[in-house]
Amino acid sequence: MTKSPSKMSRKQREEQRQMRRFMIFGGGASALVASACVGITLLPPSFPVLEGEGTMSERMERSGLDSFLLKIIPRAFRQDILVVGTTDCSHCRDFVKDGLEDAASFAREAGLGLVYAPTGSTASSLGSTRLIHGFSQARNVDPVRLLQAIYTAAPTLGSEEGFKRAAQDIAKTFGISDSVVKSLLDEGPLPSTGRIQDLARSFPAAGTPTFYVSSEENPTRILRFSGWAGTAGLRRQITTAREA
């Protein structure tokens, strides 16, 4: 009788994980160096771990940001992937245009919660942040299409007039009520500026887009990586971070 193969030891599993990380980051070092100008951030084989305590959802709630994040794939009482981006960043624009839909499909297939948090430091990126904060709780709205629409409108958001017109146009396109638009316009930019600062304290980003991923084994262990490496690369990075 042939013996069934024994299960891998903890050391063997860790060696396998390290090998997978080297394949993703180390094996393609030359390509990464050549591609550094298109949004891929060089990282060591092991992902940096976010300091602090609590799961991703608990940290979001403590920071007061939970109600102002765009939930791409919502999960009750749990979020597994956080994307921090800004409309000022060409790599974020590429991700939202070419990769967001695939990332949403991947998260849905894997049963993972996926949320987007806006940041920025210019008038137009503050405007897009305000739109995301204001529309984040809108019902019966496709969050992928909404975020793409906000990114498309970003160049017009630098003035209050352009911001108001874009808010009204996007609300009309997605069937968002006039009362939501009024609340958004009445609030002004200062609260969103404060939320950007809260986000930076709770989830500091070295560059954009930055992805925060909760470990599957220990959800309080949150790992991060930056850059947009294409749809296949992002899937591999998320999978590796989940297994770390």
**What is the homologous superfamily of the domain 48-230 according to CATH?**
Glutaredoxin (3.40.30.10)
Tokens at residue 51, please? 């300091």
pLDDT in 10s for each residue of the chain, 244 residues: 444 444 555 544 544 444 344 334 333 332 322 223 235 444 445 689 999 999 999 999 999 999 999 999 998 778 999 999 999 999 999 999 999 999 999 999 999 999 999 999 899 999 999 999 999 989 899 999 999 999 999 999 999 999 999 999 999 999 999 999 999 999 999 999 999 999 999 999 878 999 999 999 999 999 999 998 899 999 999 999 999 8
The DSSP secondary structure of 139-174, one letter per residue, reads SS--HHHHHHHHHHHGGGTTSHHHHHHHHHHHHHHH
Report the DSSP pairing between strands 114-118 and 81-85.
parallel
* Annotated domain spans of the chain: 48-230
Beta-bridged to residue 118, according to DSSP, are 85
